[in-house]
Structures are given as C-alpha cells and as structure tokens.
Amino acid sequence: MPTDEPTADDVVQTASDAAEGYVFSQYKQSAVRDLDVTVTFEDGVLEVDVYLNVPEDDAEADPEQVADDAALAARQAVDELFEE
C-alpha cells in the first residue's frame, strides 16, 4: 500500500520539533538564553544547525554536545518520518 512522501514543510517541522524537544529534555527552558534551530530540506538533502546559549552555571550538560545531539535527534526523527 503506497504512502505519500512527507512534504518539505513536514520534514522541516519534524526536524525542528525534535531538535527543540531534545534540548529541552536536557535543560530547563528557563536555563536556555538562546536557542536557534535552522532546518532546510531541499532536493532530498536535510541540513540541521542548532545554536544553543546556556549560562555556564546552568550548564547541566555540555552545550556543544547537546546542540550536536539535538541535530542528530532531528535527523533521526526525519528518518522515522520517511519510514512511516
């Protein structure tokens, strides 16, 4: 039974939601000074960039690692979207 491919908007929203969800699973929302998730999906290529600013005293986890892991979570969520 064929299924429709997700739209580019669906892919971008799924990736963005997953990245933000991951960040806020690692930090309290009040501890995050700035979070910027940039997602593009063109010609079948997904690009995810996560910028995270957390005060050093609130850094429960390494912010760079959390940003990298958030981008990975976004990619995994999109992979799952295409598997449905």
Query: Which domains, ranges and CATH numbers included, belong to the chain?
Result: 8-83 (3.30.300.100)
pLDDT score at 1: 41
Q: Quick check: 3 pLDDT over 80?
A: no
pLDDT digits (tens, 9 = 90+) for 64-82: 999 999 999 999 999 999 9
CB atoms closer than 10 angstroms to residue 23:
23
β-strand pairing of 45-53 with 34-42: antiparallel
Collapsing DSSP states into helix, strand and coil, what is residue 43? coil
pLDDT score at 84: 79
pLDDT digits (tens, 9 = 90+) for 4-59: 889 999 999 999 999 999 999 999 999 899 999 999 999 999 999 999 999 877 55
Q: Which residues contact 49 (CB under 8 A, 6 or more apart)?
A: 36, 37, 38, 39, 71
